[in-house]
Amino acid sequence: MTTLHTIELLPAPLVTHRRIERLRALWISVGAIGLCLSGTALGVIHGVVLSGGVPGVAELARTEAELERLRNESASIRADAERIAVGGRLGIRMSQRPDWGLVLAMLESLRGEGVVLVAVSCATEDGDDGLPGGRARIIVEGLAESQGAAQRYLLDVERCGMFSSARLGRTVRADAPSRVLTAFTVDLQIDPETSDAG
Amino acid sequence: MRLGSAAPGVGAAPIVVDMGEGAVRAVQARKRGEPRVCCYPALHDAIGQADESAACLAGVLDRHGFVGSRVVLIAPRRLTRASLVAVPRAAEGVPIDAIVRAEVARVHGIDDGFEVVKWPLPRSSDATGEAGVMVQAIEHKPALGVVRALERQGLVVESLLPVTPLLTRSAVAMGITGSGMSVLIEAGWRDAYVSALIAGVCVYQRTLSGVGLGAVLAQALDDGADAADAIESEGGRLAGVTDGGLVSRSAAAVADQLGSEAKRVSEYASRRYRGHQLGAALLSGDLWDVPGAEARVAASVGAAARVLRPGALLGAEAPYAPGFGAAIAAAAFATGVAA
């Protein structure tokens, strides 16, 4: 509209009236904001000066003593928190221990007809923080009717997803009364974070 | 309802409204594509029946998809008064504005408040030592009546613009006035206005009362017959009226009369501004839709005649009727697409 202001015929009283209305609206907004700010300032003054008064030397001393007490209390709370944290970690680790019954049931269900389990030994290591509930190690000893049957058992155990690693140990020929078998060991591990058994 | 509701109209161009005596027109520029336009017969007197007229307008704008409530109003032609005022040379302490206002009030017998726009005239050849200004004035009371009536319909009149400066500015922006002399013929429904332009600046204007096509037709018709009905019975549109019919003959007579008046105005301007010869006649108003009217004026004034169609300033491709000149020019200037 800048090019048209030189040929503007809008009556001056109307323009003035609109200007006054705009100014009035502006002043109302400014007044409202001012009132809010004044209220806030009054509240602060009332809280700090009128109701509590200006802090004196005696009150400063009391405050320092209170601060010291709070510091001591804070140290005590920190120590308690540390103990609780250790206990918490222990609880978590204990809850993460494998359910050995489930592990043994799984090993048994996977073996198939050509494999017999002779012995299973389980052991858990302590964690890096010295707490129990770290890595679990399982050694499975068994007899298979062939080297291939032992290999298939290893693969089935690996696929079941319960163990973080599965490795075939030694395999040796074992003579049975009527046939030749393969004695084998499988070395399994369960890491706490990957365990589904616990 | 789109009108008067702020959200849908945010960012929309203002609606330019031209409440003419024969037709009411509205134009709203758009960022892309052709502007919104509408035109309908003036069923009410925009001044005497301002409320009825404003209510009708608001309904039409809404139905035609105009958005927003901002309005640029073309000053009703009947309310504006043109004057040529001689003033002393501008110097420090000379109250030019006060002199102009006093002279306008005296010449037009205005007692109440009024608004003026003025522009300086080029130095004339008869070096009298006086400078001159051209003035367009409008009285507050009737102007406020129209504005308030529109406000009661939820429209906000942001600007009130006189027709002649809009048309001359659009002619300059379109580069069709050059540095020479031209005449601008505004053929209204009831009255007509002939202006002399020097390098696109209006230096003189003559009002021809009762020379509009509507007034001439009304005189030619039997008592009680309506001029608009006569046009309706001859095809409905001025561009398609029956050749040789009453409307066509009346339009030819009006064109001849306006042509001869334009010739006189140009001769007066030639005496005042020696060295300038008439280059072209610029035409605005519904009359120029009548086939042959443009050629008759060209023959009368002895110069090329051209209908002023400022649609190009808005980037519009449609050849809007000659009556849209002021509204389209205002839309172009108000949206800043033309300077």
Residues 6+ apart with CB under 8 A from B211: B191, B192, B254, B257, B258, B261
The mean pLDDT value for A27-50 works out to: 78
Residues 6+ apart with CB under 8 A from B153: B3, B4, B54, B55, B57, B58
Residue of B110, B115, B136, B163 to mutate, interface with A, max A Cβ within 10 Å: B115
Closest listed residue to residue B45, CA positions, set B149, B153, B161, B186 = B149
Higher model confidence: residue A93 or residue B47?
A: B47
Higher model confidence: residue B124 or residue A101?
A: A101
- Residue in B80, B119, B160 closest to A8 by CB: B160
Tens digit of each residue's pLDDT (9 = 90 or more) over B236-284? 678 777 777 888 889 999 999 999 999 999 999 998 888 888 999 999 9
CA distance B135 to chain A (A): 10
CA B260 to chain centre: 20
What pLDDT, on the 0 to 100 scale, is given for residue B264? Answer: 95
What pLDDT, on the 0 to 100 scale, is given for residue B123? Answer: 79
Residue A95: pLDDT band (50, 70, 90) is low
DSSP code at position B314: G
- Residue in B113, B138, B333 closest to A3 by CB: B333
Are the CB atoms for B203 and B134 separated by under 8 Å?
yes
Higher model confidence: residue A53 or residue A33?
A: A33
CA B162 – CA B205 distance, rounded (Å): 13
CA B195 – CA B217 distance, rounded (Å): 24
The mean pLDDT value for B79-93 works out to: 84
Are the CB atoms for A178 and A136 separated by under 8 Å?
no
Tens digit of each residue's pLDDT (9 = 90 or more) over A53-66? 555 677 778 888 88
Higher model confidence: residue B125 or residue A139?
A: A139
| pLDDT mean across residues, chain A | 79
Q: Phi and psi at residue B109, in whole multiples of 5°? A: 60, 40
With 70 as the cut, is the pLDDT of residue B195 above it? yes
Contact yes or no for B136 and A2 at CB 8 A: no
CA A124 – CA A134 distance, rounded (Å): 6
| pLDDT mean across residues, chain B | 87
Are the CB atoms for B290 and B240 separated by under 8 Å?
no
With 70 as the cut, is the pLDDT of residue A51 above it? no
What pLDDT, on the 0 to 100 scale, is given for residue B171? Answer: 93
- Residue in A1, A6, A13 closest to B140 by CB: A13
Nearest residue of A to residue B151, measured between CA atoms: A14
Neighbours of B269 (CB within 10 A): 23
Token duo for residue A5: 């202001």
What pLDDT, on the 0 to 100 scale, is given for residue B176? Answer: 87
ipTM: 0.85
Contact yes or no for B157 and A9 at CB 8 A: no
With 90 as the cut, is the pLDDT of residue B95 above it? no
With 70 as the cut, is the pLDDT of residue A89 above it? no
CA distance A52 to chain B (A): 51
What pLDDT, on the 0 to 100 scale, is given for residue A11? Answer: 92
What pLDDT, on the 0 to 100 scale, is given for residue A173? Answer: 83
Expressed in percent and rounded to 5, the helix, strand and coil fractions of chain A are 55, 20, 25
The residue behind tokens 């066509």 is B248
CA distance A66 to chain B (A): 59
Neighbours of A82 (CB within 10 A): 10
Tens digit of each residue's pLDDT (9 = 90 or more) over B263-273? 999 999 998 88
With 80 as the cut, is the pLDDT of residue B296 above it? yes
Contact yes or no for B136 and A9 at CB 8 A: yes
How many contacts does A have with B, using Cβ atoms within 8 A? 62
Tens digit of each residue's pLDDT (9 = 90 or more) over A105-134? 888 888 888 899 989 988 887 766 666 667
Are the CB atoms for B197 and B278 separated by under 8 Å?
no
Nearest residue of B to residue A12, measured between CA atoms: B115
Tens digit of each residue's pLDDT (9 = 90 or more) over B39-74? 888 888 999 999 999 999 999 999 999 999 999 999
Contact yes or no for B144 and A2 at CB 8 A: no
**Which residues from chain B sit within 8 angstroms of residue A13, using beta carbons?**
113, 140, 144
What pLDDT, on the 0 to 100 scale, is given for residue A195? Answer: 44
Tens digit of each residue's pLDDT (9 = 90 or more) over B308-335? 988 888 877 777 888 899 999 999 988 8
Tens digit of each residue's pLDDT (9 = 90 or more) over A152-165? 888 888 888 888 88
CA distances from B116 to A4, B23, B122, B267 (A): 14, 26, 19, 28
